[in-house]
Amino acid sequence: MATNRQVVLRSRPDGNPVPDNFAMAEADIPVPGEGEMLIRNLYISMEPAIRGWLDDNDANYFAPLAIGEKIRSPMVGRVVQSNNPGFAVGDIVFALLAWEDYSIASDATIVLQKLPVAADMPLSYYVGPLGGSGLTGYIGLHEVGRMKVGDTVVMSAAMGAVGHIAAQVAKLRGCRVVGILGSAEKARLAMEEYGYDAVVNYRDTDDLVGAIRAACPEGADIFYDNVGGATLDAMLVCMKDFGRIVSCGMIAGYNQSDTPPPVYNLWQMVARQLEMKGFLLPAFADKIPEALAAIEGWIREGKIKVLENRRVGLAEAPALFCDLMSGRTIGKTVLEIDLVDEAA
């Protein structure tokens, strides 16, 4: 009989997560009840936000996972059984599901939606540029940052899942785009292939503020922030008056949610009359169709390039997630679930 492989939380990470914080488990493949369906999971979206769900405190928008509980993440999967009139076998869906071969979903499942899959788009893109990463960047720049032609946009985690797509969106909208990133390889890719006008390698300087000011001498109209901490602190003194800080993520603190990194320069919020706004994608659900159509069109036309860091095999999920949280990965990190039980 086919089994349902699962990845569970073995122990809470202390700082950077390690693969040993996770364990593999097995269960029977579940049977959908009334209104439910069985999903064959295909692509796990590896996201820094998951790190916060592993800690036992109240800092997050989700309650902490219990030890032994399955890890969750945004996921693309295929409906293989359905008792829900809204979904048919074969539908491709997006939802917050568990790291396992098969999950049960229902109308109560968080962010469950049938995906309008385009035949010429790789399915994995729906957890990346056509999923939360790309849509968040597009909507953050347009709706939260009120981006306009000629703006200088600074992007932290510039070659991350959100950053490398959002940078290209900003460039296509007529902005000057400056990236903050952490390796020579990322810097090369950013400048040569992903449309950045300038980059700052924060690991390469003792004077981050000076390096940012050199890259954008007139300051930034928009800081699209995926990092927080010292990067945000530096940018606070590099903003133009009336600049907007789009707070998408603060990965600098995700490995230490009990002791987040300090930020000192908030007086600049007053002195420069800045706006800082945090957001999560569901609050902008009505803007998703426009964002999806725009990004899909640009990918099709070759105007947006997608960089995936993809690995295959459910058992690889813990190691891949730990890689992501180390800051070493480039582009969108995706786990493709291997189909060992597909014949079952």
Residues that bind its own copies (CB under 8 A): 52, 59-61, 228, 232, 237, 242, 247-250, 253, 257, 259-280, 283
Task: Report in angstroms how near the CB of residue 274 gets to its own copies at its nearest.
Answer: 5
Of 35 and 261, which has the nearer Cβ to its own copies?
A: 261
How far is the C-alpha of 299 from the C-alpha of 152, rounded, in Å? 23
Of 143 and 204, which has the nearer Cβ to its own copies?
A: 143
DSSP 187-249: HHHHHHHS--SEEEEGGG-S-HHHHHHHH-TT-EEEEEESS-HHHHHHHHTSEEEEEEEEE--
Contact 93, 87 (CB under 8 A): yes
E strand or H helix at 96, and its extent? Answer: strand 92-98
Of 28 and 241, which has the nearer Cβ to its own copies?
A: 241
Contact 157, 183 (CB under 8 A): no
Task: Report in angstroms how near the CB of residue 224 gets to its own copies at its nearest.
Answer: 13
Length of the chain: 344
Contact 220, 240 (CB under 8 A): yes
Task: Report in angstroms how near the CB of residue 70 gets to its own copies at its nearest.
Answer: 22
Of 196 and 223, which has the nearer Cβ to its own copies?
A: 223
> Which amino acid, residue 331?
G
Task: Report in angstroms how near the CB of residue 277 gets to its own copies at its nearest.
Answer: 5
What residues contact 297, with CB distance under 8 A and at least 6 apart?
none
What residues contact 277, with CB distance under 8 A and at least 6 apart?
144, 244, 245, 246, 247
Of 274 and 314, which has the nearer Cβ to its own copies?
A: 274
* Helix (H/G/I), strand (E/B), else coil: 316: helix
Of 109 and 265, which has the nearer Cβ to its own copies?
A: 265
In this structure, what are the phi and psi dihedrals at residue 9, rounded to the nearest 5 degrees?
-85, 115
Task: Report in angstroms how near the CB of residue 279 gets to its own copies at its nearest.
Answer: 5
Task: Report in angstroms how near the CB of residue 253 gets to its own copies at its nearest.
Answer: 5
Of 78 and 272, which has the nearer Cβ to its own copies?
A: 272
Residue linked to tokens 């928009």: 222
